Structure 1
């Protein structure tokens, strides 16, 4: 696997060989000094270009990065359309395991691009195109923000409302529908609540990462194991068990958080939804949920 130095040298050498490229910046986790470092980190790179069309017409220059396993260009996809405006991206995984997410950003769109990025490090800027970054970097940590009362109530309402969708899917024997709502909605709101909870202990100075990827490491061992045990969806009865365990977990965590910060919590609605779900659980399972 090519080393970090080799990759940076390669990224800059390719850029300098292209007359359209006027500056190079690094974003993502490699530009975030507090992000854990490992060999799976992407090289999120931005080439600032005067004109991107020549680089899109003739893409032979991409071969300079090495042999690719797979490449994706979101801006050219119909099923997964990109939302980057005038920018264009090449997402590339190479045979040695390195990955480069390379964006071509027109110079005229640089300020618009900067709004979407929290961490930026300038790698090459011979004409001071990015001088507005002052010291050549932009560092804004992805800290968990303390919720308002309204945000807390929205989180709770979403959790309890979507719980009823899980019941509907299970009673119809539509396991995928039930799992999608349980994991994709209910447990996502539980993760949000746990994120707020753990961040409050550190005065909201932590970053749980994209898709909460650091969350389990920030929780206590017992709490982390408790959440992990919710993820068994192998049978319909396991999904029922996960639903009720998720509800009890969320309910107690919400009560504790509301008490700690003097937030109001709709206890009546939570209990009503719990009772509703229990009424529809299988008869041989319902007794264990009360």
Structure 2
């Protein structure tokens, strides 16, 4: 596998030797000093270019980056609509295991790029000295944020209301429907509440990572093991248990956040818990 230094030198050299590329930035985890480096980190690179069409008309220019296993061009796909506007990206997995996420951005969008940046950006090459301000990468935008009273109530409302959809799916014997609502909506709101409690205890000056991937570092082992158990979803009994475990954890963390911040804990819990128990009993009668 090519080293980080080899990859960075190559990515900058390609840009330096192509008159169409005027500015190069690095984004993502490789700019974040709080992330421990590993071999799976992508190289999130943006090339700001003067002639987008000349790059897009064929892929020959990409060969200089190395032999690849696979490449995806999200903005050139029919099934998945483009989300990048005038930008164009290449997601490349190389034979040596390195992965490059390369985005081409028109030069007239430089200002918008930095205005809307998430903060995790470094300037690697600026041929025209366009960037006059100092760019310092930080992950402040991803720090746990103290919830307002309304945000806290909204989270509680969403968790408990969506839980009724999980119940409906289980009663109807529509397990995929139930799994989707637990995975896509209910559990993420449990994670959100857990993160808020971590912030209330330890301060709102750090991130628990994308998709809450570092949250286990801050949870009691017992709670973490309980939480992981909710991913056992391959049968109806397991799904019922997963849902009830999510109830227990949400109740624990939500009441703790309410106490810490002086917010009222809403009555959704008691009402939906009783409803769930009633629906479950109806299956066993």
Aligned partners of 1:155 and 1:189 also within 8 Å:
yes
1:201 is paired with a residue whose SS is helix
Shift of 1:220: 2.4
Question: Hey, what does 2:53 align to over in structure 1?
Answer: 53
Question: Are the aligned partners of 1:27 and 1:117 in contact in 2 as well (CA < 8 Å)?
Answer: no
- Give the 3-state SS of the residue equivalent to 2:207 in structure 1: coil
Give the Cα separation in 1 of the matches to 2:48 and 2:208: 30
Structure 2 residue ranges without an equivalent (≥5) = none
**1:51-100 Cα distance to aligned partner (Å, 9 max, x none):** 21101113211011111111111111222223222111111111111101
In the alignment, is residue 216 of structure 1 matched against residue 213 of structure 2?
no
- Structure 2 partner of 1:37: 37
Cα distance, 1:140 vs. partner? 4.6
TM alignment of 1:106-145, pairs within 5 A: 106-114=106-114, 115-131=116-132, 134-141=133-140, 142-145=142-145
- Mapped contact 1:217–1:224 kept (Cα < 8 A): no
The corresponding residue for 2:280 is: 281
Q: Distance in 2 between matches of 1:186 and 1:64?
A: 46
CA separation in 2, counterparts of 1:285 and 1:72? Answer: 50
User: How many Å apart are 1:136 and its aligned residue?
Assistant: 4.2
Between the aligned partners of 1:189 and 1:91, the Cα distance in structure 2 is 30
CA distance in 2, matches of 1:193, 1:140: 20
What are the superposed Cα offsets for residues 221-240 of structure 1, whole Å, 9 maximum, x if unpaired?
22211211111101110000
Contact (CA 8 Å) 1:93, 1:100: kept in 2 or not?
yes
Shift of 1:130: 2.3
> What is the aligned partner in structure 2 of residue 195 from structure 1?
195
The gaps in structure 1 that reach 5 residues or longer are none
**TM-superposed deviation, 1:215:** 1.2
RMSD value, Cα: 1.6
How far does the alpha carbon of each residue in 1:131-188 deviate from its partner, in whole angstroms, 9 at most, with x for none?
A: 3xx2344435221111000000000000000010001101111111101111211111
Whether the 8 Å CA contact 2:43–2:101 is kept in 1: the answer is: yes
Contact 2:156-2:268 within 8 A present in 1 as well: no
Seen in structure 2, the aligned counterparts of structure 1 residues 140 and 231 have a Cα distance that, compared at 3 Å, is: closer
- Aligned residue for 2:27? 27
